[in-house]
């Protein structure tokens, strides 16, 4: 029996006939005959946790919405933008109707007036796939007035963003969807109480919502039997970097990094060796090669000193300079900082400048600890986690590869300039411009 | 310059990448911009929510966002032009300066660079004769570097006019540019 749930087929099911032939939209019919609270209860029983990054229990999140306040909204977070993450994109490309079915099911369960899919602006083709899938679903009566005779009216608006990483943060997403600059808001109030247009709002990731129809079909207990004690079900992992077969792989959460990297991905290509693993998107602390037997579940990765994050695992081979990797990581967060909170706006910039000085061989000895100090002054001091997303990985690169940083200072330059794939961004003799 | 191990990774990426559907045809622009903005605004409980789609429609109309575009969006959505410009400037995909006919965006984020994005970028710079951020003198191309595009397993990712080419290693850059030049009648 296959270990996969969401992507348990070859090719795609973009056409609604293909999806229906595989049993699609049967769960929705079942759900519309259930009590709304039983749907949320079933998701709660399943143990499904948010697949965007935070890993919060999905059923519990839905239960926070007050049932007596209307309007209420469902917002699907399809703003996948954490560097190294591309799994929601594959789900939308290959199984868009699972997402649509999950949206209508959860909208009914929370009594939502409307649902919005906030998809990142760069995903133009995926936007078109979802638009077509929604049109097909509307023609078959799964979306619109009085869905399948239930009396429930389901509205889905597919909203395409315009390029801003921060809009993946749920309150920034809501600001953007309301027509503002996409800046985060302070919490509380949480979106469940005062979200879109100050109304109760449930915000869930694509993979999370697309999993709901399978839970309705087979039951919460069935899902809860897959995985570990606290990390249930399967997860679609994005595997990228220096492996033989990069791509998305859906695995039960009982498996290990080695299963993913070597079993599915074929390991590091010939002639190179594994140097580092970034286990949950670029914001998560780096792991070392001897941690490859760590489990893929949330708890095991946390115990190893990192985070499961967005489920993207990036493999770094021995050509790469870790200082350059840290610098490129930090530059991303400088570019994406919305500028609202001072520690993030200023700290990401100063941290990046120190990293650049280290890479160029211009840093003094005390700047290494100054860099850690800057990271420490960002951590936990902002409205949203963007600043932390720079500070956590940078601090981990420094502490876990300190010898390599020290060599840059001692040797007055980068020891890996001839081999590292990032060199041309940072050194004149390899002309190039960073992003 | 490409390492043999990277060649193995690119071969693997071609195996795992899903098939993409053909692009949806562009909707006709047979009605005034204002009417098309009002159509989109009607989808939302509050019309201000339509500012991103409205700015996108205006950008498609003008090729970029001149002052006039902010006036048009503001008038249709009952906002001020300054507000519209403030929102537009927050997002990477809005163009506050004119751009070439084809916009070439090279992802230089972590995963793409690990598999050769820097070489791909250099190949574009050499072939087009401009650095990232610049436009060719004939107005045909604007080259820019971008942060993660979400094609990390199938990199290096390059988007040309918002359509992904992945993987696009350096040795495939020249034929691609030559094809676009010949299509433009050059």
Q: Tell me the ipTM for this assembly.
A: 0.97
CATH topology (fold) of A16-224: Rossmann fold (3.40.50)
The confidence score (pLDDT) of residue A432 equals 44
Residue B169 in contact with partner chain A when CB distance is under 8 A: no
Residue B143 in contact with partner chain A when CB distance is under 8 A: no
Residues carrying CATH 3.10.20.600, chain A: 237-315
Q: Is the pLDDT of residue B186 over 60?
A: no
The confidence score (pLDDT) of residue A429 equals 57
Give the distance from residue A178's alpha carbon to the nearest chain B alpha carbon, in angstroms: 4
Residues carrying CATH 3.40.50.11540, chain A: 16-224
| The CATH number of domain A237-315 is 3.40.50.300 | no
Ordered by start, the domain boundaries in chain B are 33-88, 99-183
H-only helix segments in A225-362: 257-258, 298-303, 322-336, 342-360
The model's pTM? 0.96
Express each pLDDT in A248-292 by its tens digit. 999 999 999 999 999 999 999 988 999 999 999 999 999 999 999
Residue B110 in contact with partner chain A when CB distance is under 8 A: yes
Rounded mean pLDDT, B31-36 = 97
Interface mutation target, options A421, A426, A428, chain B, most CBs of B under 10 Å: A421
The confidence score (pLDDT) of residue A431 equals 46
| The CATH number of domain B99-183 is 3.40.430.10 | no
Q: Say if the Cβ atoms of B118 and A316 lie within 8 Å.
A: no
Distance of CA A80 to the CA centre of its chain: 6
**CB-CB neighbors (< 8 A) of B161 in chain A:** none
Residues carrying CATH 1.20.1440.230, chain A: 322-426
The confidence score (pLDDT) of residue B3 equals 83
Q: Say if the Cβ atoms of B53 and A12 lie within 8 Å.
A: no
- Determine the length of chain A: 435
CATH topology (fold) of A322-426: de novo design (two linked rop proteins) (1.20.1440)
Helices A367-378 & A386-400 angle (0-180, nearest 10): 150
Residue carrying the six token digits 């990797």: A325
Residues in chain A where the model's pLDDT stays below 70: 1, 428-435
The confidence score (pLDDT) of residue A54 equals 87
Residue carrying the six token digits 């941290």: A351
The confidence score (pLDDT) of residue A67 equals 85
- Mean pLDDT over each residue of chain B, to the nearest integer: 96
3-class secondary structure for A328-378? HHHHHHHHHCCCCCHHHHHHHHHHHHHHHHHHHCCCCCCHHHHHHHHHHHH
The confidence score (pLDDT) of residue A357 equals 97
**CB-CB neighbors (< 8 A) of B44 in chain A:** 157
Q: Say if the Cβ atoms of A11 and B17 lie within 8 Å.
A: no
Express each pLDDT in A376-413 by its tens digit. 999 999 999 999 999 999 999 999 999 999 999 999 99
Distance of CA A276 to the CA centre of its chain: 20
| Sign of the torsion formed by the C-alpha atoms of B161, A127, A165 and B66 | positive
Give the distance from residue A417's alpha carbon to the nearest chain B alpha carbon, in angstroms: 13
Q: Is the pLDDT of residue B66 over 90?
A: yes
């Amino acid at each position: 029996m296959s270990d996969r749930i969401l992507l348990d087929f070859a090719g795609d099911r973009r056409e609604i006939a293909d999806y229906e032939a595989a049993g699609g939209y049967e769960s929705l019919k079942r759900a519309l005959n259930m009590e709304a609270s039983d749907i949320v209860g079933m998701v709660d029983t399943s143990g499904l946790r948010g697949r965007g990054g935070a890993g919060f229990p999905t059923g519990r999140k839905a239960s926070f919405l007050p049932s007596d306040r209307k309007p209420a909204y469902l917002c699907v977070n399809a703003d996948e933008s954490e560097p190294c993450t591309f799994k929601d994109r594959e789900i939308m490309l290959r199984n868009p109707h699972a997402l649509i079915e999950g949206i209508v099911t959860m909208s009914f369960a929370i009594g939502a007036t409307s649902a919005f899919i906030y998809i990142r602006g760069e995903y133009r083709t995926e936007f078109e796939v979802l638009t077509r899938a929604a049109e097909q679903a509307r023609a078959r009566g799964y979306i619109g007035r009085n869905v399948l005779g239930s009396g429930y009216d389901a509205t889905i608006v597919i909203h395409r963003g315009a390029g801003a990483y921060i809009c993946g943060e749920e309150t920034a997403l809501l600001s953007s969807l309301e027509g503002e600059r996409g800046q985060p808001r302070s919490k509380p109030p949480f979106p469940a109480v005062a979200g879109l247009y100050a109304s109760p709002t449930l915000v869930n990731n694509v993979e999370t919502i697309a999993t709901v129809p399978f839970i309705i079909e087979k039951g919460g207990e069935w899902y809860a039997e897959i995985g570990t004690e606290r990390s249930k079900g399967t997860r679609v992992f994005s595997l990228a970097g220096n492996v033989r077969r990069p791509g998305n792989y859906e695995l039960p959460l009982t498996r290990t990094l080695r299963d993913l990297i070597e079993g599915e991905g074929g390991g590091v290509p010939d002639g190179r060796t594994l140097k580092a693993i970034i286990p949950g998107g670029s914001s998560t602390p780096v792991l070392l090669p001897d941690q490859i037997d760590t489990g893929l579940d949330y708890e095991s990765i946390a115990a190893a000193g990192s985070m499961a994050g967005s489920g993207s695992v990036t493999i770094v081979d021995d050509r790469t300079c870790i200082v350059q990797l840290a610098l490129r990581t930090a530059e991303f967060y400088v570019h994406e900082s919305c500028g609202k909170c001072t520690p993030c706006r200023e700290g990401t910039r100063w941290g990046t400048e120190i990293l650049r000085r280290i890479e160029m061989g211009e840093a003094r000895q005390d700047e290494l600890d100054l860099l850690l100090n800057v990271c420490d002054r960002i951590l936990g001091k902002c409205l949203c986690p963007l600043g932390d997303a720079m500070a956590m990985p940078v601090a981990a690169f420094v502490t876990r590869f300190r010898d390599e940083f020290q060599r840059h200072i001692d040797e007055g330059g980068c020891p890996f300039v001839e081999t590292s794939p990032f060199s041309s961004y940072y050194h004149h003799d390899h002309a190039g411009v960073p992003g | 310059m490409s390492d043999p191990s990277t060649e193995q990774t690119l071969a693997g990426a071609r195996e795992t990448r899903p098939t993409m559907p053909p692009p949806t045809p562009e909707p006709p622009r047979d009605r005034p911009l204002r009417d098309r903005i009002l159509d989109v605004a009607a989808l939302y409980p509050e019309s201000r929510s339509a500012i991103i789609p409205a700015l996108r429609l205006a950008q498609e109309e003008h090729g970029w966002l001149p002052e006039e575009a902010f006036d048009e969006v503001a008038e249709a959505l009952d906002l001020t032009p300054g507000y519209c410009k403030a929102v537009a400037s927050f997002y990477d995909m809005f163009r506050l300066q004119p751009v070439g006919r084809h916009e070439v965006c090279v992802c230089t984020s972590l995963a793409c660079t690990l598999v050769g994005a820097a070489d791909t970028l250099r190949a574009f710079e050499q072939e087009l004769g401009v650095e990232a951020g610049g436009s060719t003198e004939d107005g045909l191309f604007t080259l820019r570097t971008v942060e993660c595009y979400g094609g990390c397993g199938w990199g290096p990712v390059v988007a040309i006019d918002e359509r992904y080419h992945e993987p696009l290693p350096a040795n495939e850059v020249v034929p691609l540019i030559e094809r676009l030049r010949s299509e433009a009648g050059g």
